[in-house]
């Protein structure tokens, strides 16, 4: 719908839906006492849950608490218990995106229906979309929202999906063709008797970090402009208490209290400062950090902006008062707090039972051994930027794309989501890799593809590992067939030299068949040179390539990270 048509509907419909119209009351000889001038409201928020129904493990399963101690945190059943203690009468549960996508197998195997079900069970009512909500495309996102069985895989063991109990919002996502919203931009909820408006925003960088085919025909607008337009819609409908749910955030100085504000100002701060003064507070996500910050809005008023880490390890509460007469938030009353979802409480039995049911449903697939490793194979980068696991995945992808003529393979480091550990995680035995463990490493179900690039294009592609003036560095993980020299001392655009394929120097006009997942081939992570490739060939899923390689090379040893040579 267009912004103008939405405004008409908002004024006509939201008033009725939120009780903004008040019927005339008969005169009384004994008038009731006047209600308090302000009404207390509490919001409880989560962000970047990523389908972590079970307690996350490794570094993703711990967080530094208010005392500076790293404690185990997260897990849907523990989240539900903490939520019950925080979200009572006069409160609403909201979220800031990436609730689904890049999920563990327990959720991903059934297209994240398990996660959407659990989030509905714990009371979530409204969320912005995140970039990962678009991993399987807009049509699939709308199926998760509205219900129905998956068009390819059919219904899950739970039967026909009924749709999410919460609403996704996207105020800066429109159709390229006519600028119509593809999802509702705003929602209005009565909280403790007063209407509160919510705006959903997602990072404008979404097209560079999700698969291009999934967002074809969509436009991701600048966040502040989209948010301000949505704020005007809410004000036109008479809603004056406004909260922005924004899937974008800042980085922080690590190992700080989750209630601190050690942010390095970035996109999150820009949005928090730039949104219209009509927006009273900003709840963020995307950068997987925990912080409670205050800035000034364009009118010079204090405005709180927050983020609650990731994987269900933190719940954020925001308490404030709304003036009953004006409907405005009393800014001086806004107080936020980040609560660590510790595991020293009794897990909620209903949610624990639901998680156990889904775990049982997926166990046959998850527990199947697919290969062995001789030692831990991790994501920690060497000085060159390579990691043993990244190199291993690139080797697997090269092996899986030989039919497409691949000579080298390149893997995006952000797509490597977990380490392979030698110690057993269950009863499978030390060194055994299960399908579930392999899937946790690569949970995106990307398609392997091969394109032809010239030597000059390959050089230009490798130079794109340094972006935004060098502030963003993403070292592509190379297969063993590709070697080159990197010099950080040289200017950006001249840092790569001596490119060789299987020991033979690459000339500028040589044609090279390059394998990568379809996210990269579509120009993801800013590697736009990939889109210049020709003679596209598509092959297996990346997870299948990885699993097949582990089985064919059993046992697998950690590869040496010696494919990129560092020059002085």
Query: Whole-model pTM above 0.95?
Result: no
The two tokens of residue 215 are 């967002």
Q: Where are the alpha helices (DSSP H) in 47-165?
A: 76-86, 105-108, 113-121, 138-146
What's the pLDDT score for residue 19?
Answer: 38
Burial class (CB in 10 A: 0-12, 13-18, 19+), 154: exposed
- Adjacent-strand bridge partners of 514: 408, 451
d(CA 476, CA 546): 17
Q: Measure CA 539 to chain center.
A: 26
Which helix (H) or strand (E) segment holds residue 387: the answer is none
pLDDT values of the chain reduced to their tens digit, one per residue, 568 residues: 454 454 444 444 443 443 333 333 344 456 676 767 999 999 999 999 999 999 998 778 999 999 999 999 999 999 999 999 999 899 999 999 999 998 989 999 999 999 999 999 999 999 999 999 999 999 999 999 999 999 999 999 999 999 999 999 999 999 999 999 999 999 999 999 999 999 999 999 999 888 888 899 999 999 999 999 999 999 999 999 999 999 999 999 989 999 999 999 999 999 999 999 999 999 999 999 999 999 999 999 999 999 999 999 999 999 999 999 999 999 999 999 999 999 999 999 999 999 999 999 999 889 999 999 999 999 999 999 999 999 999 999 999 999 999 999 999 999 999 999 999 887 888 999 999 999 999 998 888 999 999 999 999 999 999 998 888 999 999 999 999 999 999 999 999 999 999 999 999 999 999 999 999 998 999 999 999 999 999 888 899 999 999 999 999 999 999 999 999 7
Q: Specify the pairing of strand 534-541 against strand 447-454.
A: antiparallel
Long-range contacts (CB closer than 8 Å, 24 or more residues apart) made by 502-506: 502/407, 506/455, 506/458, 506/459
What number of residues does the chain have?
Answer: 568
What's the pLDDT score for residue 26?
Answer: 44
d(CA 9, CA 234): 11
Burial class (CB in 10 A: 0-12, 13-18, 19+), 22: exposed
Q: Specify the pairing of strand 302-308 against strand 281-284.
A: parallel
Other Cβ atoms closer than 10 A to 272: 29
Q: How far is CA 316 from CA 141, 248, 289, 295, in A?
A: 25, 16, 12, 18
| Largest separation between any pair of C-alpha atoms in the chain | 98
Between vectors from CA 88 to CA 85 and to CA 92, what angle results, nearest 5°?
Answer: 110
Q: How many helices (H) and strands (E) does the chain have?
A: 15, 31
d(CA 506, CA 462): 13
d(CA 437, CA 433): 6
Q: Which domains, from first to last, does the chain contain?
A: 36-349 (3.60.21.10), 367-566 (3.90.780.10)
d(CA 186, CA 245): 10
Q: What is the full DSSP assignment across 102-136?
A: S--HHHHTTTTHHHHHHHHHTTEEEEE--GGGGTT
């Amino acid at each position: 719908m267009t912004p103008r048509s939405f405004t008409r509907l908002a004024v006509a419909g939201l008033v009725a839906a939120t009780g903004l119209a008040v019927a005339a009351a008969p005169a009384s000889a004994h008038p009731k006492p006047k209600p308090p001038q302000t009404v207390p409201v509490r919001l409880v928020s989560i962000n970047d849950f990523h389908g972590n129904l079970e307690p996350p493990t490794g570094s993703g399963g711990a967080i530094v608490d208010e005392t500076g101690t790293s404690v185990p945190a997260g897990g849907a059943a523990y989240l539900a218990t903490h939520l019950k203690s925080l979200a009572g009468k006069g409160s609403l549960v909201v979220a800031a995106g990436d609730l689904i996508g890049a999920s563990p197998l327990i959720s991903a195997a059934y297209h994240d229906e398990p996660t959407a079900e659990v989030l509905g069970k714990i009371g979530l009512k409204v969320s912005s979309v995140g970039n990962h909500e678009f991993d399987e495309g807009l049509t699939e996102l709308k199926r998760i929202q509205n219900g129905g069985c998956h068009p390819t895989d059919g219904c899950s063991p739970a039967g026909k999906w009924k749709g999410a109990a919460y609403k996704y919002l996207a105020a800066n996502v429109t159709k390229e063709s006519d600028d119509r919203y593809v999802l509702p931009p705003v929602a209005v909820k009565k909280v403790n008797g007063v209407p509160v408006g919510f705006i959903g925003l997602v990072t404008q960088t979404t097209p560079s970090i999700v698969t291009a085919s999934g967002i074809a025909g969509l436009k991701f607008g600048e966040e502040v402009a989209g948010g301000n337009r949505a704020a005007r819609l809410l004000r036109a409908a008479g809603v004056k208490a406004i909260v922005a749910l924004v899937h974008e955030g800042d980085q922080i100085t690590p190992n700080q209290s989750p209630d601190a504000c050690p942010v390095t100002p970035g996109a999150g701060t820009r949005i928090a400062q730039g949104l219209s003064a009509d927006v009273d507070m900003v709840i963020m996500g995307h950068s997987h950090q925990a912080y409670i910050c205050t800035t000034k809005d364009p009118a010079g008023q204090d405005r709180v902006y927050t983020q609650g880490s990731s994987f269900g390890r933190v719940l954020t509460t925001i308490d404030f008062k709304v003036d009953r007469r004006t409907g405005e938030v009393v800014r001086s009353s806004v107080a936020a707090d980040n609560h660590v979802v510790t595991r020293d409480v009794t897990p909620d039995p209903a949610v624990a039972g639901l998680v156990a049911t889904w775990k049982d449903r997926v166990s046959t697939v998850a527990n199947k051994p697919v290969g062995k490793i001789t030692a831990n194979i991790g994501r920690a980068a060497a000085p060159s930027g390579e990691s043993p696991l990244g190199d291993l995945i690139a080797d697997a992808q090269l092996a899986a794309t030989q039919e497409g003529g691949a000579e080298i393979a390149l893997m995006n480091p952000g797509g490597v989501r977990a380490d392979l550990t030698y110690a057993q995680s269950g009863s499978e035995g030390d060194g055994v890799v299960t399908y579930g463990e392999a899937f946790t490493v690569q949970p995106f179900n990307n398609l392997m593809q091969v394109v032809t690039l010239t030597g000059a294009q390959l050089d230009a592609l490798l130079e794109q590992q340094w972006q935004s003036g060098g502030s963003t560095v993403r070292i592509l993980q190379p297969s063993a067939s590709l070697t080159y020299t990197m010099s950080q001392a040289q200017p950006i655009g001249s840092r790569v030299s001596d490119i060789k394929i299987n020991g033979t120097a690459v000339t500028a006009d040589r044609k090279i068949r390059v394998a990568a997942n379809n996210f990269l081939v579509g120009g993801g992570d800013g590697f736009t040179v990939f889109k210049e490739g020709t003679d596209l060939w598509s092959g297996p899923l990346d997870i299948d390539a990885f699993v097949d390689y582990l089985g064919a090379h059993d046992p697998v040893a950690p590869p040496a990270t010696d494919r990129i040579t560092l020059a002085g």
